[in-house]
Amino acid sequence: MKIDFANLQYQHELYRDEIEDALLKVARNCNFIMGNEIVELEENLKDFTGSSHAISCSSGTDALLLAMMALDIKPDDEIITTPFTFIATAETIAFLGAKPIFVDIDETTYNIDPTKIEKKITSKTKAIIPVSLYGQPADMDEIMNIAKKHNLKVIIDGAQSFGSTYKGKTDSFLGDISCTSFFPAKPLGCYGDGGAVFTNDDELAIKIKSLRVHGQTKRYYHKYIGMGGRLDTIQAGVLNVKLKYYAKDLALRQEVADKYNESLKNHQNIVLPFVKEDRTSAFAQYSIRVKNREALQEKLKQDGLPTAVHYPMPLHLQECFAYLGYKKGDFPLCEKVSQEIMSLPMNPYLNDDEIAYISSKLN
Ligand SMILES: *Cc1c(COP(=O)(O)O)cnc(C)c1O
Find the largest Cα–Cα distance for the chain: 63
pLDDT for position 276 = 98
**First CA to last CA across the chain, in angstroms?**
16
pLDDT for position 123 = 98
* Residue among 100, 92, 138 at smallest CA distance from 120: 100
Sheet with 99-102, side-by-side order of all strands: 53-57, 195-199, 177-181, 153-157, 125-129, 78-81, 99-102
Residues with CB under 6 A from ligand 1: 59-61, 85-86, 88-89, 131, 157, 159-160, 181, 183, 193, 195
Q: Residue 24 Cα, ligand 1 centroid: separation in angstroms?
A: 28
Chain mean pLDDT for the chain: 97
Residues in the chain: 363
Ranges of residues in the chain with a pLDDT under 70 are none
- Give the H/E segment covering residue 74: none
Best residue among 59, 65, 68, 86 to mutate for probing ligand 1's pocket (most ligand atoms within 8 Å of CB) is 86
Count each helix (H run) and each strand (E run) in the chain, helices first. 12, 13
- Give the H/E segment covering residue 62: helix 60-70
Model pLDDT for residues 93-110, shown as the tens digit of each residue: 999 999 999 999 999 999
